[in-house]
Structure 1
Amino acid sequence: MRNKATSYLRKPKIRQSWSKYNLFNITQVRLPYTRSRTFFQQKWSAKSLARGYHGEQVRESQWERMFSRRLRAVVPMDPFDLARNDGSKNAAGRGSGMDKGDMFQVDPERVMYATGAPKDKSLRRAGRLRRRMGAKSKEEKDGEGEEAKAEDQEQKKEESKEGEDPRQMLKELLSGAKGIMTSSGDLLPAKRRQAIRAFQRSVKQVLSRSSTTTTMTDNLEAQFLTLKNMIDEDTKRAAEAAKRAAAKKAEQAAPSTESPSSATEPSSSASPTAPSPSSTTPNADTTSTTTTNNNDINNQTSRDSKASSEIDDLAASLSDVELADYSPADLKALKLALEEIHENPIDSTKPYATPWRPRDYMSPFAFVPRYLEVNHNICAAVYLRHPVARPGRAEVPTPFNETIGGAAFAWYLRRR
């Protein structure tokens, strides 16, 4: 659709546009006054009107080269006779009766966009933002991919040049030691950190030498493995100590979480069968740990039971809906609605409004001419023949009558 600023209402310009303003201008078009004008002026005004509507994007020189003096026309025939007789008797044994023409096809998405209703401002803004973010992420991915490819190529070159270089092995050992220090440096004891730093210094000293042997690298590699094993043992011990500390804290916090019924019971001296306090302390510790575990289990089971109850309620609500309560017309309408949703879904990535619906004010322009054989399923058509002129009717749609068309045709005849 053209800009609203170019669709004047006071002095309208008739164009081939589906704009509602242009449609209003077509309904308000009036023929020019020709009684007091010369034939040249009549031809020029008719030419200007026809050229503004038919092929405004074509230059005048191209239009003059494409113009043909030969006006295709046909003899008027009775349409009722044509409807009664399809021509099969006359064409029997002499071919199919239709000449082969050119076939052209359009992308269905472009057709849906051209004939569909446009999106509103909020949806268009969201689409622009989504495209910008997608372009940025694509550029970042492309940049990361190029950097990764460059790094891989550099690594391959270094590997091909060095091969099994002992210096490369030392660099890998040094990077491994640095990784251990950065990842778990706070958890390691001071003695282990000192050993790792000493190992790093020894590796750097070996790397600073002009020549390194495989025996030196083997010794350093053995040292690195021993340090790594010792660090693993230290981390295991630290984890076990943390577990024990957590268990002790849970045991200490258990007496405060006992039930109030146990606190209101009579003392051990009042009950003849109550055991001594010294004998109940270890049992209290064991029961406290079991109560915490039981609480966790009860919470989990309560959540599971709640979820299962919600599922049961949903199933019960669905089972209450009986199809017998609805009439056949309601069921048919529901089926049609589901089929329409399946065939015409909502897709925010499309450039047109979804579900698809035809554009407003489209009916005056949407038609299939007689010289085309159209397949709407694949958006393809066969150009059967050239448009022809008939008395009182033209196969090329135009808002002007035959007076304007004849005068415009006569304007281009004088130039040949």
Structure 2
Amino acid sequence: MIQPPGGTGVQGLRYSKLYPHTLDSNWELHFSGPSPQLTSIKLEPLVCPTDHCHYTDNVSFSARFATQKNRQSKHSFTYYLYGILQLVARQFEALISHDSFDFLRRGILDVCRRADDVFDFDLIAAKSPDFRLLEVGAQLARERGKPLLAIYDDPHGQRDNKGFYPDDRQRQIDVLKQANGVLFMSPLTRDRYVEQGLVRTDKTFILTDSYPLDACFYHPQPAPAKQEDLGKTKYNFVHLGNLPEWRPINPLLDALAWLEGQQNWHPVHISLYGYVYPAAVELIKSNANLASCFSIRPAVGHIESHHVADQADILLVMIGSRHLDNQPSKFFVYLGHPKPLIVIGPPGNPIQALIEELQIGVYCDVNNQASIREGLAKITSDYKYFAEAFKRNADLIKRYRADAVAADLISILDTVVSHS
């Protein structure tokens, strides 16, 4: 029930990275979910045998047409054609009271039951942030008499910088009571679930994302780390991934606009790959200083994103102010590139302690322009110190290699089954 390989999105790619490093273990991983061909805007290489991927085609036509639309160039004829088809399909589905999730749920249960008849699985793992899919996995585990591993990539509920407010409290308690183990991607998310009385601590595990080892992810000639004496050369910052409204970059823009006017400020260029919310785009365009130091580029595939990271000087990670517990995958995914990081997020996020331990960059308060200004100045003035930390603390960083995290996953699976 883990998000299937073959599609984009960090949740699916997380297990694509781990899969090759599980082949020598006593576990054989299988995947189920909606077909990436019908639901993923970009397609990624399939890393496992096709008979290990139990996909369903039970995807509503409105969702299929939406995927096709978003694969086209914006404002092209085919973009508008699929947009019209999506609208017509949505109206027809409303007319016949079509339940798109129930249609998907029945498809997943059907392919998983048939797969279990053949392979006789030892454990069912299901993941949220769509809690309904976790419930589908729980239903399958009950029907088949299998232990359940519940996976929380993100919490199911509302959160801010003060706390977590769970949705569907009793439904979550029921699933977590049934689960033999509960896997969280963030220690703070786990702590919040324990504090809310949703799960016992002794049933919980933590597993972060990882960085890949395959040579295809690394450019044959990566840009070398810059030296301290740069002359007039600009530092090249890169942010990989979407920037929606709940991940605001306005404080970063304000800090840069101020720094660009300072005599002792070294110029930078920041490339944003992926969607950027319209208000930020307009703010960049309206300020000549910002417009000269920003580039907004289309999203790229997973392998190409690593090649972009190879050519960068500094990697930028943004965390929304209400996501105190979130450990963004992009922090871990690019640790294989020895490039200093500047992380901008709420104080107290687990990444803050991690980046201080690894000494590979700076953490700034997303709500504090002065903190961001100081972080930008420090990452550029002390660039060599942060770049050399990748060698200095190599053993600490290796904890997040795909093979090391895969070994942690195997250990967790062993423990869950042994306690079932």
Q: Which has a greater percent of helix? A: 1
Q: Return the index of the structure with the highest Cα Rg.
A: 1
- TM superposition score category, shorter chain reference: under 0.3
Determine which structure has greater relative contact order: mean sequence separation of CA pairs < 8 Å that are 6+ residues apart, divided by chain length.
1
Structure number with the higher strand fraction is: 2
TM-score by length of 1: 0.18
